[in-house]
Structure 1
């Protein structure tokens, strides 16, 4: 393959991965528009997010098996075509449940666009430049979730919500055509003689139930809803049975035996936490900047721009450091510390915090996560034989997605509870004998009376205004608490690096990722 064709193929598969990752978050900002246009409740409309996440997490760990069964070229191109077709159908949906159905199928198609893309990128680089391959692919992993909400907000505001799906169509067609001419099978194709249907069913039921609980728990007040209890039980039973079954049979759909590698297990935990930080921080930051600090969606998007640009540099640097033999543990440690510092900065937000302060804090977030992406990928597969590397990479990618789902679910619940707690604390200070309260109340009443309101109406409006200030302040404090907790989780995870110090020395060099 010529250098031109090789570069086109690399660009194509990274574009496909970015497209898939963007779709994990691009819908978030359009839910209100969809709800109004399709005549559905906001709770029903949120299934547009849930269905995609469920399908995505189910299919990712099965990627290695499906690649072997169907052939990498057929499976990958077929997945792009399915993803693109469902994008068209999502944009054309005329009711909420049609949209939810095609989002689920779109998520199934999107599963291959991450793990297989990663393998293809690594194959295009020689052994001496595998660190650079990690950095190149890491750009897509990092950029996708970051620009999703910004892109979705711009399209929804300036065009219409169906176009957040339609933009995938030309990209998907171009990717499919490019891969048809350029993508080849790996040198050695694994043979799959028997399909593990029981494993597939248990995985789908278990992960599907768990993901539904995570996505819908906060909306329906967790275990006060009967179906949440039942799905939790089903998830526990199905996943337990899945683990036992997969460890006993000869040809499992997901080879869990690779987790006997302590290095992969530790890397998977750290990747889970990284996914939690990546997706949760990109969820919390636009929400607090728009709802509390009054920034527009465009302004919120611009906050992320400086960090995103520097993150690309961080990804390249981390790849080169790995190539020179620097221990991934050192790079991961620095990445964790930078992300912890970002959360420390964000945990001190006030109503007077400026856009520049947030943008500068987001630079540390971007650099921290950029330094984690490449070495965690290298560390995850460093102790695996070639035949197990695709499965290890798939499991590691699944952990990142699960981390994001867990994070958003946990922090939604935490935000709601901390907001209620702070509101109670603030209200206790609003008393008739508090001079600051009486002074502010009098000032508000005087203002409303100057606008023509009577004494009673002015007093009512003044109390409502004070209540809105309490709500705003208590909500801001809950976001401060959330950023603090997020940083604390990263700090608690740091000692895990001590468990892989010895193996990490061997992971500092080149890492080969292949499909065979």
Structure 2
């Protein structure tokens, strides 16, 4: 059922409500990053276990995205959006109340599942509320909330953790979500979309949940259980391999696949999805690693870590509208190439300068400059990805692209923290080879520390701490170096796509958080 566009006050209120809901969901993906050390310490978990708070949300969110279209047709877009928003608010409240890491992760999974439909439905409902000639303005306003949220997320998350309690990074969603749901119910409850009784690919959905869930469990638990030396990790790996392999075969033959893998036959779609997934995996891994490094090794508070990472959002706010306005004149392959080169330059900048003695500006400046890369990453790659899609393929193509990107982000967070800790162990072993009572430099250092008032045990502990810190910085720098190389390789991949042609009536917006 088609409804006429909204007018005046109603349209303004709907725009505000949908933007608030989007802001809340994107904010939630960044606000927790700087609070991980605080949450882990308060709940008696290691920092590595604390990252599950991020990865569990991301995996659940990725799983729910592909079934959003089916749910919207079965339930109605307005009703599903209200259910998702209210559910997100309730699960946020439960996250804040969680007395243990296990319960927090459970509620984060619930929160991620409910968050999946919110962004695609907010975009769809917003476009339906505007006349065709004003939809570009509507999407520009909506996009600004997505771009601004990552600026506030780290700062707000740090400030709340330092001055209140980490629970408030979840409680803050309650008034925002409640206001958004109330406004949407008031203005859109009489504008429900047509409800259709469509079949769902139950086998594909079960295989998807099993495969992706076990893959993420293998990545998260493998760091603690010595990977495939553990029977638990072997079991997760076998289930993930079998489920995902059978999923590919099943989805290529099913009439109503939950994931339409046939879309990968299009070259631009394949190149775009691979590029955005690998790029986001590297980018999101660094987003998780940076606050951990600053708070655990450099003495930063959560607020200071948030302030140091927040500058990454300044340039995208200024440049994204300009790129969007001139998209029809630009070859997006050049824009994405510039983005990848800027990513590579910023990661190499970190690789060559990161050390325990660096000051605040040395942390913040690469973050600020990386804003050039963010501005040319999400929207241009979405344009390339969807450029050859037929109108009836757009919903499936956008869902699959978002699923792959979100899943890649969770995998990136797990792999980055594992590689960081793994390389620290190797460097710790190498560095301690040079520390020995038979070494004159070691004896001199210990003697000087004891003369300063430290006991022999305290002096040894200080040296051990310095070695661990150096090992962690060396490990982080190797992660940055690997990201540099991979982004340079991605600049070649993007040129395997054909020049994208913007399809009529297609608004290419992606939730680049």
Partners of 2:271 and 2:197 in 1: how far apart? 29
Task: Say if 2:465 is the partner of 1:468.
Answer: yes
Q: 1:283 aligns with which of 283, 288, 295?
A: 288
1:385 paired with 2:380, answer no
* Partner of residue 87 from structure 2, selected from 67, 82, 89: 82
Q: Distance in 2 between matches of 1:216 and 1:143?
A: 34
Q: CA deviation at 1:254?
A: 2.8
Moved more, 311-320 or 126-135: 126-135
Matches within 5 A, 1:208-357: 208-323=213-328, 325-348=329-352, 349-357=354-362
Number of residue pairs the alignment of both structures matches: 503
Mapped partners of 1:38, 1:485: distance in 2:
33
2:425 alignment counterpart:
420
Contact 1:382 1:511 in 2 (8 A): no
1:403 paired residue number: 408
Structure 2: tracts of 5 or more residues without a match: 1-5
What is the CA distance between 1:183 and its match in structure 2?
4.2
Once the two structures are superposed, the pairs formed by residues 421-436 of structure 1 within 5 Å of their partners are 421-431=426-436, 436=441
Deviation at 1:83, TM superposition (A): 0.9
Residue equivalent to 1:105: 110
Over residues 234-285 of structure 1, what are the superposed CA-to-partner deviations in whole Å (9 max), with x where a residue is unaligned? 1221122222222212222333333322211211111112321331121122
In structure 2, C-alpha distance between the alignment counterparts of 1:402 and 1:150, rounded to whole Å: 25
1:511 alignment partner in structure 2 = 506
Which residue number in structure 1 is paired with residue 122 of structure 2?
A: 117
Deviation at 1:177, TM superposition (A): 1.6
Q: Is the 8 A contact 1:50 1:212 kept in 2?
A: no
Q: Given the two structures, how large is their TM-score scaled by the length of structure 2?
A: 0.88
Residues 293-326 of structure 1: per-residue CA shift (max 9 Å, x gap): 2222222222234332222112222212314x21
- Of the candidates 434, 441, 447, which is equivalent to residue 442 of structure 1? 447
| CA-based RMSD | 3.0
CA distance in 2, matches of 1:51, 1:478: 24
* Separation in 2, partners of 1:391, 1:185: 27
1:488 and 2:493 correspond: no
CA distance in 2, matches of 1:31, 1:251: 40
Question: Corresponding residue for 2:204?
Answer: 199
Match of 1:66 among 71, 88, 101: 71
CA distance in 1, matches of 2:101, 2:432: 40
TM-fit CA distance, 1:94: 4.6
Unmatched 5+ stretches in structure 1: none
Is the 2:89–2:177 contact (alpha carbons within 8 Å) kept by the matching residues of 1?
A: yes
CA gap 1:496/1:108 in 2 versus in 1, 3 angstroms: same
- Secondary structure of the 1:160 match is coil
Farther off after superposition, 87-96 or 278-287: 87-96
Q: Distance in 2 between matches of 1:59 and 1:119?
A: 17
2:285–2:412: 8 Å Cα contact kept in structure 1?
Answer: yes
- The C-alpha deviation readout for 1:19-71, integer Å capped at 9, x for no partner, is 22333343455456556766778787665445433321210111122122222
Partner SS state of residue 31, structure 2:
coil
Q: Relative to 1, partners in 2 of residues 1:97 and 1:446: Cα closer, same or farther, differing over 3 Å?
A: closer
Deviation at 1:487, TM superposition (A): 1.7
Looking at structure 1, the residues matched to 327 and 505 of structure 2 have their Cα atoms a distance apart, in angstroms, of 7
